[in-house]
Homo-oligomer: A and B are copies of this chain.
Amino acid sequence: MKKLTPECLSIIPPRPQISHKGTFGRVVLIGGNQQYGGAIMMAAEACVRSGAGLVTVITDPVNHVALHARLPEVMVVNWYDLTSVQEIFETADVCLIGPGLGLEAHGQTLLSFVLNHQQAEQQLIIDGSGITLFAASSFTLPFSSQTIFTPHQMEWQRLSGLAIAQQSEEANKHAQHQLQATVVLKSHRTEIYSCGPTVQNPLGNPAMATGGMGDTLAGMIAGFLAQFSDKGAIQAAVYLHSYIGDLLAKERYVVLPTEISAALPYWMKKFSNS
């Protein structure tokens, strides 16, 4: 399997001189129930610090205050206010649904809403409980080629029907072919399955095995897709997430997800050669 190399980061361009915040994309993040609100906060931090122009978080209102206390740079929408959800969703270039979404009925309502309203030009990332809900439903993807799933191995089992022990490259590739969506299969060596060749991330380390690390990766993928136009955005997000994690782990027994987000602007600058 082809391994990602630092060259995959060359898709991070210098920013165009004549630009405004709209140039760098509108992202909507949906997730965070009463129990898992931290997940959508961590996704939002990653998304903002990866450079997305405008980020709105649609979440349980119980999470608004903590989110704003950490990150005034985002806008917030009460996820029970479906009129506002629709207004915001329509303006999005990229939508991430799933971090801390939970498995309750309202999570299903929101996932159903997103799948029913996705437009031809909108990219969609389905993460965390969003994957579990999708797997348990009869939903179909309206635009599979613009959809990315980011499961860990157990979520991939639910989505693909492949038990963890059966998740060989070939079987995964086959399952991806059925879905047509891109699959970022997270493990200690994350693999990306898509219409193109399968690639493996050679980076990452066990100090990153802590709650919230996947939410942070999902937020980065959303931010990268909002700014960088092709599939290379996903590879770059996956690679840089682990690249920073490996650097931080040189001096840390555990790397907190928010520490990766904090370091993002510095490393994106380095690799953009701008």
Residue pair B68, A187 in contact (C-beta under 8 Å): no
Category for how many chain A residues contact B: 35 or more
Whether, in the assembled complex, A231 has its beta carbon less than 8 Å from a beta carbon of chain B, the answer is no
Residue pair A73, B265 in contact (C-beta under 8 Å): no
Residue pair B18, A51 in contact (C-beta under 8 Å): no
Whether, in the assembled complex, A188 has its beta carbon less than 8 Å from a beta carbon of chain B, the answer is yes
Whether, in the assembled complex, A199 has its beta carbon less than 8 Å from a beta carbon of chain B, the answer is no
Residue pair A209, B23 in contact (C-beta under 8 Å): yes
Q: Enumerate A96-147 residues with CB–CB distance to B below 8 Å.
A: none
CB of A151, distance to nearest CB on chain B (Å): 13
Which chain B residue shows the least CB distance to A264? B253
- Choice from B64, B77, B207, B274 contacting A62 with Cβ under 8 Å: B64
Residue pair A73, B258 in contact (C-beta under 8 Å): yes
Given A12-B253, A254-B49; A20-B187 close (CB under 8 Å): yes
CB of A72, distance to nearest CB on chain B (Å): 3
CB of A139, distance to nearest CB on chain B (Å): 26
Residue pair A211, B12 in contact (C-beta under 8 Å): no
Residue pair A55, B211 in contact (C-beta under 8 Å): yes
A24 partner residues in chain B, CB cutoff 8 A: 209-210, 254
A161 partner residues in chain B, CB cutoff 8 A: none
A73 partner residues in chain B, CB cutoff 8 A: 38, 42, 210-212, 256-258
A8 partner residues in chain B, CB cutoff 8 A: none
Whether, in the assembled complex, A69 has its beta carbon less than 8 Å from a beta carbon of chain B, the answer is yes
A269 partner residues in chain B, CB cutoff 8 A: 207, 249, 251-253
Bound: A269/B206 CA distance, A: 12
10 contacts between A and B (CB under 8 A): A15-B253, A17-B206, A21-B209, A37-B72, A38-B76, A54-B210, A62-B64, A66-B67, A253-B265, A254-B268
- Measuring CB to CB, which residues of chain A are less than 8 angstroms from any residue of chain B? 12, 15-21, 23-24, 34-39, 41-42, 45, 48-55, 62-78, 84, 152-153, 187-188, 205-207, 209-213, 249, 251-258, 264-266, 268-269, 272, 274
